[in-house]
């Protein structure tokens, strides 16, 4: 556990350190102090501490800017702002800080902050399905099976063995009729030949699962097949769907978890596998993923974390370059960030995309580009 304290005034940062030690809940070896915010940023990006106390008013980099930057590399980091001016503190708190402290610092108030930190870290310590399952089967992004963190190399003898495994995984929540398998994977004219081919593929697939000591069984019942496996085997799509169901709204408390699931689900469904029966599924999962990204981007935008919002929205833009609402939002963000160079470049790219698809450029996008930066 590491706490980073940042204030350009040496006496101020040492005073905060003394008060934190006086709470009796933090050890001195867990505290790291900085008077140079740039040095602090480099340390945070490398060591990834859990908590940062940052003075808002520093000459080189403001505490708010610093917090925005380090959160890009440490999404779950907790930030507490310190300032002598209440109006700045309230603004910072609204912008997603865990807490803020007003100077002059008082021991009792610092104790309350430490209690908040403890509560937040306790919430994060609750075990989630993402906490390294023994066996994780990934169907999104680079598909594969991970056993205790290591990706297995199946060395498939034929493409049909792999395709059957993927087909059964895709339909893992139901029994699949052998006739559906015939029609989808081995559409031979002779039913007897199809049955013989399927039996051979099943035999080799079962052997492959046993070779890797995977507790996955291919159950046969009423002329149908289904994969059966214990709780130690988890499929990323199931984890993702459960997450979307239980966490429909992005909040300050669950943002870190949401970002972890985004990392889990990023990438097309069964990437690089172009089986005909998968055609519609790619779009279904992509729509859910992009909608989740939009909600996270909206959360960042509404809390004025414009750099983070820009990064998230750009991910959507790469997939949906003709999304009018998104284009307007991106131009608005670059205006708020006063980055005219990036704004002009984005506008040129948007124009090219619309021209490429022979679609007229919407007036809302033109208006967003022409709107000047506000002071």
3-state secondary structure 243-264: HHHHCCCCCCCCHHHHHHHHHH
CATH number, position 17: 3.40.50.2300
What is the phi-psi region of residue 267: left when phi exceeds 0, alpha when psi lies from -120 to 50, beta otherwise? Answer: left
- The answer as to whether 370 is a domain residue is no
C-alpha span between 258 and 123 (Å, rounded): 14
How many domains does the structure of the chain reveal?
2
CATH number, position 273: 1.10.10.10
Residues 256 and 277 placed together within one structural domain of the fold: yes
Which of residues 124, 149, 169 is at a domain's end? 124
Q: Is 126 helix (H, G, I), strand (E, B) or coil?
A: coil
- The answer as to whether 361 is a domain residue is no
Write the DSSP assignment of 185-208 as a string of letters: H---S-HHHHHHHHHHHHHHHHHH
Nearest to 244 by CA among 207, 208, 284: 284
- The answer as to whether 160 is a domain residue is yes
For residue 39, the enclosing domain spans 3-124
- The answer as to whether 347 is a domain residue is no
Note down pLDDT in tens along the chain; length 375 residues: 899 999 999 999 999 999 999 999 999 999 999 999 999 999 998 888 999 999 998 888 888 888 878 876 676 788 999 988 776 655 565 555 778 889 999 999 999 999 989 887 776 554 455 555 689 999 998 788 988 878 898 888 889 999 999 999 999 999 999 999 999 998 876 777 888 899 999 999 999 999 999 999 999 999 999 999 999 999 999 999 999 999 999 998 899 889 889 988 888 899 878 898 987 888 889 999 999 999 999 999 999 999 899 999 999 999 999 999 999 999 999 999 999 999 999 999 999 999 999 999 999 999 999 987 543
Residues 170 and 205 placed together within one structural domain of the fold: yes
Which residue is it, tokens 């004219």? 189
- The answer as to whether 322 is a domain residue is no
Task: Specify whether the CB–CB gap between 347 and 311 falls below 8 A.
Answer: no
Residues 161 and 256 placed together within one structural domain of the fold: yes
138: tokens are 């990934």
Nearest to 169 by CA among 104, 237, 97, 261: 237
- The answer as to whether 356 is a domain residue is no
Supply the pTM of this predicted model.
0.65
Q: 3-state SS of the chain: helix, strand, coil percent to 5?
A: 55, 15, 30
Residues 183 and 81 placed together within one structural domain of the fold: no
Contacts of 85 (CB under 8 A, 6+ apart): 56, 57
C-alpha span between 350 and 321 (Å, rounded): 7
Residues 119 and 140 placed together within one structural domain of the fold: no
Q: In what order do the strands lie in the sheet with 135-138?
A: 150-151, 144-147, 135-138, 233-235
Residues 170 and 281 placed together within one structural domain of the fold: yes
Which of residues 100, 124, 148 is at a domain's end? 124
- The answer as to whether 245 is a domain residue is yes
Residues 271 and 137 placed together within one structural domain of the fold: yes
Residues 9 and 150 placed together within one structural domain of the fold: no
317-363 pLDDT, tens digit per residue, is 999 999 999 999 999 999 999 999 999 999 999 999 999 999 999 99
Residues 62 and 197 placed together within one structural domain of the fold: no
Residues 181 and 101 placed together within one structural domain of the fold: no
Residues 257 and 181 placed together within one structural domain of the fold: yes
Residues 195 and 108 placed together within one structural domain of the fold: no
Which of residues 273, 290, 307 is at a domain's end? 290
- The answer as to whether 295 is a domain residue is no
DSSP H or E run through 325: helix 324-336
């Amino acid at each position: 556990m590491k706490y980073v304290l940042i204030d350009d005034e040496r006496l101020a940062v040492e005073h905060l350190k003394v008060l934190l030690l006086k709470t009796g809940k933090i050890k001195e070896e867990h505290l790291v102090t900085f008077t140079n915010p740039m040095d602090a940023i480099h340390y945070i990006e490398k060591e990834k501490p859990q908590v940062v106390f940052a003075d808002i008013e520093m000459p080189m980099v403001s505490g708010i800017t610093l917090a925005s930057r380090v959160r890009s590399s440490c999404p779950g980091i907790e930030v507490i702002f310190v300032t002598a001016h209440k109006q700045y503190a309230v603004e910072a708190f609204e912008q997603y800080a865990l807490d803020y402290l007003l100077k002059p610092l008082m021991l009792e108030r610092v104790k309350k902050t430490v209690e908040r930190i403890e509560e937040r870290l306790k919430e994060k310590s609750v075990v989630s399905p993402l906490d390294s399952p023994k066996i994780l089967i990934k169907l999104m992004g680079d598909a594969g099976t991970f056993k205790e963190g290591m990706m297995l190399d199946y060395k498939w003898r034929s493409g049909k063995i792999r395709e059957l495994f993927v087909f059964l995984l895709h339909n893992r929540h139901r029994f699949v009729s052998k006739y559906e398998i015939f029609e989808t994977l081995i559409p031979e004219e002779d039913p007897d030949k199809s049955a013989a081919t399927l039996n051979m593929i099943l035999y080799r697939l079962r052997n492959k699962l046993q070779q890797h000591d995977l507790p996955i069984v291919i159950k046969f019942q009423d002329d149908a097949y289904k994969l059966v496996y214990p709780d130690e085997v988890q499929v990323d799509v199931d984890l993702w769907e459960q997450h979307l169901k239980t966490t429909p709204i992005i909040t300050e408390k669950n943002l870190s978890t949401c970002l972890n699931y985004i990392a889990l689900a990023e990438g097309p469904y069964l990437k690089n596998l172009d089986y005909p029966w998968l055609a519609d599924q790619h779009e279904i999962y992509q729509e859910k993923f992009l909608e989740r990204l939009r909600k996270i981007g909206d959360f960042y935008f509404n809390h004025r974390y414009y750099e983070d919002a820009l990064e998230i929205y750009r991910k959507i833009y790469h997939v949906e370059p003709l999304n009018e609402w998104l284009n307007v939002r991106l131009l608005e963000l670059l205006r708020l960030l006063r980055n005219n160079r990036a704004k002009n470049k984005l506008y040129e790219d948007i124009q090219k995309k619309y021209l490429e698809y022979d679609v007229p450029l919407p007036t809302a996008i033109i208006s967003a580009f022409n709107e000047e930066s506000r002071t």
